[in-house]
């Protein structure tokens, strides 16, 4: 975890080194060497727009540098799946689980059995990156990895997958609904989780919906999905006109889909504070329950990179206490 006042320090650490002019901004295509924590990195194409609204790769790197202090604890020891946009949002995008060729030698990685049909490198194994320091975030941002997705479990020093420590509900608004309806469903889920001794936290997805998290203890890999499915199906039975627990697209019109399946050990969810590859640099943003309850207009629960930096200045990390609230999964 970064030391206090890391935002100010990060801004200095990612400034050009003395051998590189601090101004003007390097022209498109030019490379610049920076100091990120204890690492020196070479960055390129800082002026390249990665979002349709003109948000550049340099601005992406700046955002991830400044939000690193609150982001890194939420992805620590979790294998990262990147969604990269080398030609910017609107161009080709691709998921990347395996560490790309040319990754720095200091980047920690973990080799795990593949759980999908495409195993990547090796015989049924994937070599994931672990982002555990500022320089790793800067490296990922420099390769246009706008989105960071992680599972609900961590790995230990021996590269063994640990039991799930998080429960997640992904609330996805179908046609005719928005995050406003997701917030109403989130309030109902919150009450059920509290009744079961769990403490839920909320964040936006950075897209149309939102997620709820609760820190859990369980030794059964299948238990989180089973528990989440039970609650999702309960709400769907109670209000079938506004909630669905099935994935079929034709069941989602005017309903919020409670995706319980992201608790499957093979699934990942957008990380807190990750950018999204949308028309604007929106962010998966932690929000308070007061904000959930007050949500009446979808546009007021959309936060950009600049908004999130201001929110962190004002409120710190709204998910800071999540690990401390761990409780047995019912």
If pLDDT is split at 50, 70 and 90, which confidence band does 57 have? very high
Tell me which of 305 and 20 has the higher pLDDT: 305
pLDDT of residue 97: 96
Among 53-57, 196-200, 224-228, 248-252, which stretch is predicted with the lowest mean pLDDT?
Answer: 248-252
How much is the pLDDT for 123? 57
What CATH fold (topology level) applies to the domain 166-328?
Alpha-Beta Plaits (3.30.70)
User: pLDDT tens for residues 140-150?
Assistant: 999 999 999 99
Return the DSSP state at 19.
Answer: T
Q: What is the pLDDT of residue 29?
A: 60
Confidence of residue 121 (pLDDT cuts 50, 70, 90): very low
CA–CA separation, 14 and 34 (whole Å): 5
Do the beta carbons of residue 187 and residue 292 sit within 8 Å?
yes
Report domain extents, the chain: 6-150, 166-328
For residues 173 and 159, what is the distance between their CA atoms, to the nearest angstrom?
A: 36
Give the other-Cβ count within 10 Å of 325's Cβ: 14
Place of tokens 């028309």: 279
> Among 105, 55, 42, 115, which Cα is nearest to 85's?
55
Average pLDDT of 258-285? 97
pLDDT band at residue 165 using 50, 70 and 90 as cut-offs = very high
Q: In this prediction, what percent of the chain has a pLDDT beyond 90?
A: 85
Residue bearing the bigger pLDDT, 114 or 91: 91
Q: Which residue is it, tokens 């006109």? A: 241
pLDDT computed for residue 158 by the predictor: 84
Residue 226 contacts residue 214 (beta carbons within 8 Å): no
Element (H, E) at 265: none
Band of the pLDDT at 114, cuts 50, 70, 90? Answer: confident
The count of other CB atoms within 10 Å of the CB of residue 47 is 14
Whether 42 and 32 have beta carbons less than 8 Å apart is answered as yes
Q: Is the pLDDT confidence value at 10 over 60?
A: no
Give the residue with greater pLDDT, 159 vs 229: 229
Structure tokens at 208: 């149309």
Structure tokens at 103: 């990754």
Structure tokens at 308: 């999130």
Phi and psi (nearest 5°) for 102? 90, 5
> What SS3 class is residue 303?
coil
Does 59 score more than 70 pLDDT? Answer: yes
Across the chain, the runs of DSSP E, i.e. the strands, are: 31-36, 39-44, 81-84, 94-96, 109-113, 125-129, 145-150, 166-173, 201-204, 210-217, 243-244, 256-259, 269-270, 286-287, 327-328
* In the predicted structure, residue 3 carries a pLDDT above the cut 90: no
């Amino acid at each position: 975890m970064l030391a206090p006042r890391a935002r100010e320090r990060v801004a200095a650490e990612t400034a050009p080194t003395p051998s590189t002019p601090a101004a003007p901004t390097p022209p498109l295509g030019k490379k610049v060497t920076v100091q990120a924590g204890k690492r020196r990195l070479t960055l390129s194409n800082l002026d390249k727009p990665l979002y349709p609204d003109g948000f550049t790769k340099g601005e992406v790197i700046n955002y991830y540098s400044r939000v690193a202090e609150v982001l890194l604890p939420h992805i620590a020891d979790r294998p990262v799946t990147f969604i990269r946009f080398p030609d910017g949002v609107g161009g080709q995008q691709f998921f990347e689980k395996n560490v790309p060729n040319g990754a720095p030698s200091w980047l920690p990685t973990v080799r795990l059995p593949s759980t999908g049909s495409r195993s990547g490198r090796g015989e049924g194994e994937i070599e994931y990156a672990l982002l555990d320091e500022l320089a790793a975030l800067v490296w990922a941002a420099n390769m246009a990895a706008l989105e960071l997705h992680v599972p609900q479990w961590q790995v230990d020093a021996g590269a063994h997958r640990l039991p799930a420590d998080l429960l997640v509900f992904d609330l996805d608004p179908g046609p005719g609904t928005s995050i406003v309806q997701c917030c109403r469903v989130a309030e109902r889920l919150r009450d059920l989780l509290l009744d079961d001794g769990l403490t839920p936290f909320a964040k936006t997805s950075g897209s149309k919906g939102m997620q709820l998290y609760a820190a859990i203890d369980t030794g059964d890999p299948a238990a989180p999905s089973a528990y989440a499915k039970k609650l999702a199906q309960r709400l769907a039975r109670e209000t079938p006109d506004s909630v669905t627990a099935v994935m079929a697209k034709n069941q989602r019109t005017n309903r919020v889909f409670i995706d319980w399946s992201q608790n499957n050990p093979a699934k990942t969810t957008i990380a807190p504070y990750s950018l999204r590859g949308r028309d604007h640099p929106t962010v998966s943003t932690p929000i308070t329950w007061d904000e959930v309850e007050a949500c009446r207009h979808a546009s007021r629960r959309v936060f950009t990179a600049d908004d999130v930096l201001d929110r962190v200045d004002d409120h710190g990390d709204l998910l800071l206490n999540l690990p401390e609230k761990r409780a047995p999964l019912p």
